[in-house]
Amino acid sequence: MGSENAFSFLKDAFPINFPSIKIIPTSEAEIKNIIHTMKTKNSSGFDEVTSKILKACSDLISCPLTHICNHSLYTGIFPDRLKISIVKPVFKKGDKYSMTNYRPISLLSTFSKILEKVMYSRINQHMHCNNILVPEQYGFRKGVSTEDAAFKLTDNVLKSIDQKRHVGGIFCDLAKAFDCVNHEILLSKLQFYGIRGTVLKWFKSYLTNRKQKVEIKSPKYTQNFFSNWRTVKHGVPQGSVLGPLLFIIYINDLPPTINFSSEPIIFADDTSVIISSKMFDDFCAISNRVLSHMNKWFNANRLALNLNKTNVMKFTTNNAPPYVLNIGYNGKYIEETVNTKFLGLQIDSHLSWSNHIDKLIPKLSGACYAVRSMFHVSNTETLKLIYFAYFHSVMKYGIIFWGNSSYSQKIFILQKKIVRIMAGVKPRESCKNIFKRLEILTLPCEYIFSLMIFIVKNQEFFPTNSTIHNVNTRNKNQLHRPVASLSCFQKSAYYTGIKIFNNLPPNITTLIDKQGQFKVALKRYLITHSFYSVEEFMLPNNIKCM
C-alpha cells in the first residue's frame, strides 16, 4: 500500500513517460581512467585490496576488469562478493560510551567502486539528458554546491522582505533518511524514470543480499572485535558511489509536490521550504498546508519527519512587530526558532549573521594559536600552508553571505592578528603591506573575489542593462541593479554583487566569459590594492586598472 501511495505522488509530479535507458558497454580506457582518478588510499574493504595497489597494477588488470564489468552490465547481475562491507564506528565528540556519538564508516571493496562508477556515469547521463532531476535539488550534483542552495534561500528571503511580504522557512529534520530508503519503492521509481530491463535487474541485484558486519578496534587488546554478519534490507549502501545518486532519485518527486506558493531547497536529505505571502494569515495557512503535504509524502515513501527537531523561522527586519506562528501537523506544533543551522551556516531571523560569526571566532582563534606555536620552528611558506588550511578555508566558507555584515569586522581583526603573527611584527603595526607581500587576500577582498566568481558562474541570475531595455546607453553592458528600498536587501549578495561588478576595472569585466583569466586578473588586482573595506573599493578615486 505504501509503495502504491508513493507511486501516485510520483505520477502526479511527472505526468510524462520517460524513455528507457540504453546499455553502453565499458572500455579498457574507461576502466583505466576510473582507476587513475580514484583517490590514493590505504583503506580497503574485506578483500584488503587498496586503491593504491590497483593504481600500481592498472595496466595488468584493466582488461579482465573490463570483461567483468561488461558481463555484469549485460546479465544484470552485481557480484555478491562485492556487496560485503565492513563498518567501523568513528568517534565524533561527547560521551565515548554513547553509540549516538559515533559515525559509522562503511568500507567496501575497491573493485565494487569501479563497477559502480561505470554504472553511475550511465545513469547520471540518462538523468541529465532527460532533465529528470529537479532544479530544487542541490546535493550530489555536478556544478551546484551548498553556496548555490544558500544563495537561493537568502535571495528569496531578502527579496520578499524588500517587497514587504511575510516570509519564513520550514527546516525539516529527517531521521536516518539514507538508511530508511525502501528498496521496493526505489526500484519502482527507477523503472518510472526509464531504468528498465537488464539495468533495472542489475539494480535489484545491487540492492539485495548485501552483507555487513561491524569491526571495533579495542585500545586494550591487540585483536579487533567483529559482530556477526547481517543482511541489509533497507537504505542505500553507505560508502558507495551510487548511494547518493540513488537517494536524490528517491526524493526527486518531493519538490513538485510542495512547490505551490513555496520554494523548496533540498541538499540531499536536508529539506527546507521558503514560504512568503502578503497577508500573515495566508502565510500561516500555506505553511501548514506545505507541512501537511510533506508529511504525507514522507509517510508514503517510508521516511520519518522528526517533528521534534524540525523548526520554523519567520524572517523579519529588526523593527518588525512580533508574530506568533502556529505551524504544525495533526495537532502537534513545530518549534519556532530565531536561529537555525543551514548547510554549515548559522542563519538568524534577521539575516544579520552575528551567530554565524560568533561560531567562527573560536575556530579562527585556534588557528592563530597554531601559527603562533609554529612561528619559531617554521619558515614563511609553512606558516602560509597552516594559515590557508586552518584559517582561510574556514573564513572563506559562505563569505558571500556574511562578508558584508557589520559583524564581519570581528573576523577581519582576527585575520590581521594572524597575518601579523606570521610576519613577526608588533600587534599595532599596519599589515596592509604584509597582505601584499604574502599574497593573501584581506577579508573584504576575499568577499569581493568570492562574490565575483559566483556571479561569473551564475550569469543567468544577473542580467545586463541591455537585456532589460533596448536603449543604447553607456552602461548597457553593466549588470542591471534592481530598485531596493531596505538596507538588508542592499547588503545582500545579489545587490552588492551587482554594485561591485559594475565597479570593477573594464579590463577585468571584459574577461567575464573567460573564467580562468577572470580569476587570475581579479586576484592580482585585489592583492595589489588590499582593500580594507568594500567602501574603500567603491571609492571613485581608485584607479581601476592593472
Coil, helix or strand for 210?
strand
- In this predicted structure, what is the pLDDT of residue 247? 95
Three-state DSSP at 429 gives: coil
Residue 328's DSSP bridge partners are: 333
Does the pLDDT of residue 461 top 70, yes or no? yes
HEC letters along 232-277? ECCCCCCCCCCHHHHHHHHCCCHHHHHCCCEEEEEECCEEEEEEEE
Give start and end residues of each alpha helix (H) in 14-135: 28-37, 51-56, 58-75, 110-129
Calpha distance 364→54 (Å, rounded): 39
List Cα–Cα distances, 492 to 162, 350, 392, 488, in angstroms: 11, 12, 22, 7
pTM: 0.89
Provide mean pLDDT across the span 239-243. 92
Integer Cα distance of 309 and 175 in angstroms: 9
Express each pLDDT in 72-96 by its tens digit: 999 999 999 999 998 888 888 888 8
| Backbone phi, psi, residue 496, to 5° | -65, -35
Instruction: Parse the chain into domains and list their residue ranges.
Output: 1-6+135-175+256-349, 19-131+183-233, 354-542
pLDDT at residue 46 in the model: 83
pLDDT at residue number 541? 55
- Rounded to the nearest integer, the mean pLDDT of the chain is 90
C-alpha cell at 327: 505551524
Could you give phi then psi for residue 70, rounded to 5 degrees? -65, -40
- Which amino acid is residue 176, in one-letter code? K
Encode pLDDT of 482-532 as tens digits.
Answer: 888 788 888 899 999 999 999 999 999 999 889 999 999 999 999 999 999
CATH of domain 1-6+135-175+256-349: 3.30.70
